[in-house]
Amino acid sequence: MACEHPLANPAMSALLGPHAWLAERHGQVRRYPADVCPFAGIPRQPADAAWADLAAAVGPRGIAVTAALAVDPPAGWQVIRKIDAVQMVAAGVQARPDPEAVPLTPADVPDMLELTARTRPGPFLPRTIELGSYLGIRRDGELIAMAGERLRPPGWTEISAVCTDERFRGAGLGTRLVHAVAALITDRGDTPFLHAADDNAAAIRLYEALGFRISRRAPFIIMRAPDAAS
């Protein structure tokens, strides 16, 4: 049987690969620490044992976020939200550093949390910076735009947390940061990819213009585990 492509189940691939050092292990399931990233790695078509492992990993009524799950959760699991998304891979993206983009460090996390709370690019938590490299642009000392790396399946790195303060939108800062993060990724031999909600036509058009192409559908499911007695 041919091996599954790393991007078919990117969270699991990352947690079994470059992010294994972060993985919390529960039987067939791997998950990121709760203050790093909400994703859990689980087989795309999990058997009962894998669902039991996931329930043990998050605890009674705990929250699990999965990517690329191919089946519906079993009875007892509550689907809080399903985000239909597309996965896009680099196909001619210009990877180039940006002179204004500076590396962000743990000392910058308070500013990063404040910016992402205002702009809501997706989950960004106190230790999310441990997932990879992040770049930011500051004006007069204020962090006004950032982008970085999230999931890292072998050979691939996801560009994530692309956001710009609303006062500075329309100036191309996000585009510049995508190019700059792509340069970091390609310099170490990986290929950039990213996700976008499939109903966000504007974002998909922008990423296509930057040199990404849609490779597959990738549903994200936010679930609540059963009660302990379930």
**In order of start, what are the domains of the chain with their CATH numbers?**
6-84+218-224 (3.40.630.30), 88-217 (3.40.630.30)
Q: In what order do the strands lie in the sheet with 191-197?
A: 102-103, 134-139, 142-149, 156-164, 191-197, 85-90, 212-217
CA 221 vs. chain centroid, Å, equals 13
Q: What is the per-residue pLDDT for 2?
A: 52
Low-confidence ranges of the chain (pLDDT < 70): 1-2, 229-230
Give kind and range of the element (H or E) at residue 55. helix 48-58
**Cα(161)–Cα(122) distance, integer angstroms:** 6
Q: Which residue has the tokens 């699990």?
A: 64
Q: What is the per-residue pLDDT for 229?
A: 53
CA angle 127, 128, 133 (to 5 degrees): 115
**Cα(214)–Cα(75) distance, integer angstroms:** 33
**Cα(180)–Cα(97) distance, integer angstroms:** 4
Q: CB burial class (10 A; 0-12, 13-18, 19+) of residue 214?
A: middle
Phi then psi dihedrals of residue 2, to 5 deg: -70, 145
Q: Which residue has the tokens 């990517």?
A: 67
Between the CA of residue 115 and those of 122, 133, 138, 161, what are the distances in Å?
A: 11, 17, 11, 10
Helix (H, G, I), strand (E, B) or coil at 110: helix
Give kind and range of the element (H or E) at residue 53. helix 48-58
Cβ neighbours, 10 Å, residue 172: 12
Pair of tokens at residue 221: 């499911």
